[in-house]
Amino acid sequence: MAHTKAIGTSKNGRDSRAKYRGVKLYDGQVAKPGSILVRQMGSSVWPGQGVRQGSDYTLYAITEGRVRFSTKKKTTHTGKRRLVKIINVVGA
């Protein structure tokens, strides 16, 4: 029995599904409760006021309002300070 087929085999043609990550609602846009704001891998954007984080790091709105992005200096567990992006949903 042959290990591989004789003709017509290809080691190409396999790829993973697109994940469609990124920002879905931008600064100033109106968000309803449950609206997905950011799909991300890891916590590159942190949830702020009116925003929760899902198990796959997806950020979604829990209140109705306008999307606002801001930055904040956070201290890590090693004492180092870094700048993090925070997304808020504030009342319209």
Summarised one tens digit per residue, pLDDT across range 8-59 is: 667 888 889 999 999 999 999 999 999 999 999 999 999 999 999 999 999 9
Measured CA to CA, the distance from residue 8 to residue 29 in angstroms comes to 52
Closest CA to 70 of 80, 57, 84, 58: 84
Measured CA to CA, the distance from residue 50 to residue 35 in angstroms comes to 11
Q: Quote the longest CA-to-CA distance of the chain.
A: 70
Q: What CATH number does the domain containing 80 carry?
A: 2.40.50.100
pLDDT band at 74 (very low <50, low <70, confident <90, very high): very high
Condensed to tens digits (0 to 9), the pLDDT of residues 76-87 reads 999 999 999 999
Assigned domain for 7 exists:
no
Assigned domain for 61 exists:
yes
Assigned domain for 85 exists:
yes
Assigned domain for 10 exists:
no
Assigned domain for 5 exists:
no
Q: Which tops the pLDDT comparison, 56 or 5?
A: 56
Claim: this prediction has a pTM higher than 0.85: no
The residue segments making up the domain with residue 56 are 22-90
pLDDT for 12 equals 82
Give how many domains the chain has, as a whole number. Answer: 1
Alpha helices in 10-60 (DSSP H): none
